[in-house]
A and B are shown apart, each in its own frame.
Chain A
């Protein structure tokens, strides 16, 4: 009797283990696929935000010497000598451009300083190496370029991450505000959050009453109307964006209509500006608000509101005290989802926005594809990723990860 119970338990445990193992084996292919083609590329890309190997690759002895040098102003002559000779060698190997490019990230204009110096450096110093360099360009007598070289000599750099929040390092390596002409990223970040917030608000204002009505209808009525919500959801993002350009442009359908009705004296700019971005993004993201709202509202028993009414509450009070609190999980789910998705938007603002409406994704793409400033692209991507993951975590805690359905 006792042994059979023990055997049974052991058998059950074995079955359970087999089941778990089977489950793991089935899950593994996707997990491995995502690790290789999703997780590792993203982690590697984030690494580029702090990568700093240019100087130590092209001018290893200079990097080594500068790394240990402390102080302000031109370093001792032996370090200057190493830098000058290696710069000359780098030029001979046609690699001085790599260093010039890296130094240009520290301060615009240093590309020229490095390239022209490398080109004109003599074989032997004219007096000291320092005076030779200063004779080529007085900037070599200033502390700034040497502090910049020292920063480029470190194994890692934080200048891109700092620049992404409008900070920089001065000649003492202290963290300071970035110069005004480069301090644009906090603005971009604030704009990204502001546009996402407004779009979320508009989606809620438009979506809540619609979801409320749909949830109060019998299903055979609600389902066909829901299909109207789903149609834009299945339609290409580019099609919807193109449609808004056609509607909103100066010679577009809406301006045409308003002018013909006499409501406008002449066409107004509705697209390639903030209005266009807000309208198009609200349109694109609205289904993501309506669907979670609808699914939560469907679950609210109508009897509760009826009970409040029969107890003497006005319809407004019954809505505010009973229905609204019960629909809050849907509001939270919809708002978080729309906000998270809006944060990463690139295509819609790029097509219907103006220069002042571009969000953070635009700058990631710009630095990657146009200027090959990969450190800056990675730093901005890091910030965007952190913001999205933080909100994803809030969503998982508040709504539950298993409720994540985009369709």
Chain B
């Protein structure tokens, strides 16, 4: 009995370990290949070099697409953070008829397939002059990113103990001071991690980009998509490796924020 329990536990660890390897290893395998001195995607590597990274820096389309992606990502992040944070506050305090419907609309962009938004935008951003334009893409990405901000800010607001704010009022703080000194520090991690989500969503988005951008507005994901479709080469893997490094950095920031938020709310980290 005891023996079979330990054996079962070991089997579970082994299985879970394999699943985790399945999740992580494919991503890590591209990192060494991007430093290969050769052009073939084989192990063992013929030698190490930075030539593919140099190509990446020298190649005009990659630089331009990175600049485009950063612009779109930053605009979309700012817009979705402002709109999403306001809405999260509104939804937390108001009770009105049709609130369920508003909630469903606000969260729908996470569920509705992106191709649907892309096709709709393709037809109806045109009269607004928003096709073949980075602003149009930034607006579509705001649609996709705002729900994440609403969700993360709502979560921190839901965990915000209202007695803390009331205590601040009771101690004589005017509403704005109470907001700045009590509410804001507690929800800030939610706002920032929502903003990170919005940025990553935009920075990684291909489908709308395929529909709304012309050659002059090519974004990084679109550049990668077309590269992968043609023929995958170490240059693309070099770009991919940089994106993995970015993901790790953002993940670490998000995790630190989560811990900070838990601590501020009085939950042990």
Contact = CB atoms under 8 A, between A and B. Distances in A.
B72 interface: no
A388 B111 contact: yes
A41 B140 CA distance: 11
A231 interface: yes
A175 B50 CA distance: 63
Interface stretch (B116-124, B161-169, B177-185): B116-124
A22 B84 CA distance: 15
B115 A381 contact: yes
B216 interface: no
Given A20-B94, A210-B16, A247 B29 contact: yes
A242 B224 contact: yes
A193 interface: no
B113 to A, nearest CB: 2
Contact of B110 (A26, A213, A404): A404
B200 interface: yes
Contacts of B96: 20, 23-24
A356 interface: no
Given A209-B19, A246-B29, A251-B40, A30 B83 contact: yes
A84 interface: no
Contacts of B186: none
Interface string B10-41: 00110110011011101101100100000011
Contact of A407 (B13, B107, B148): B148
- The B interface is mostly helix, strand or loop, or mixed, namely helix
Contacts of B200: 234
Given A22-B94, A37-B139, A401-B103, A243 B116 contact: no
Contacts of A365: 115, 118-119, 207, 210-211
A108 interface: no
Nearest to A230: B251
Contacts of B67: none
Contacts of A407: 148, 151-152, 197
A29 B207 contact: no
Interface string A338-371: 0010011011001100000000010011001100
A256 B41 CA distance: 11
Interface string A314-326: 0100000000000
A38 B143 contact: yes
A72 interface: no
Contacts of A346: 113-115, 207
A24 to B, nearest CB: 5
Given A29-B87, A34-B143, A48-B123, A242 B232 contact: yes
B115 A344 contact: yes
B30 A243 contact: yes
Interface string B36-67: 00001111000000000000000000000000
Contacts of B116: 42, 45, 344, 364, 381, 384-385, 388
A44 interface: yes
A242 B240 contact: yes
A246 B237 contact: yes
Contact of A396 (B104, B119, B224): B104
Interface stretch (A60-68, A178-186, A221-229): A221-229
A235 interface: yes
A234 B147 CA distance: 17
Contacts of B8: 315
B125 interface: yes
B75 interface: no
Given A242-B236, A242-B240, A31 B119 contact: no
Given A37-B139, A227-B251, A30 B20 contact: no
A45 B123 CA distance: 7
B148 A243 contact: no
Given A27-B102, A41-B124, A236-B240, A343 B250 contact: no
Given A30-B84, A34-B106, A347 B119 contact: no
B142 interface: yes
Contacts of A244: 26
Nearest to A27: B90
Given A33-B142, A238-B221, A253-B43, A243 B120 contact: no
A377 interface: yes
B250 A234 contact: yes
B108 interface: yes
Nearest to A44: B124
A287 interface: yes
Nearest to A223: B255
A107 B194 CA distance: 50
Contacts of A402: 103, 154
Nearest to A280: B26
Contact of B228 (A225, A241, A377): A241
A39 interface: yes
B251 A40 contact: no
Contacts of A249: 41, 232
A232 B19 contact: no
B170 interface: no
A377 B116 CA distance: 10
Interface in B210-258: 210-211, 221, 224-225, 228-229, 232, 236-237, 240, 243-244, 247-248, 250-251, 254-255
Nearest to A387: B113
Contacts of B197: 407
A374 interface: yes
A176 to B, nearest CB: 28
Given A231-B248, A405-B155, 6 more contacts: A30-B106, A209-B15, A214-B16, A238-B221, A388-B116, A396-B104
18 contacts: A27-B94, A29-B87, A30-B106, A37-B121, A41-B121, A45-B123, A210-B15, A234-B200, A234-B247, A241-B228, A242-B236, A242-B237, A245-B232, A364-B119, A368-B122, A389-B111, A395-B111, A396-B104
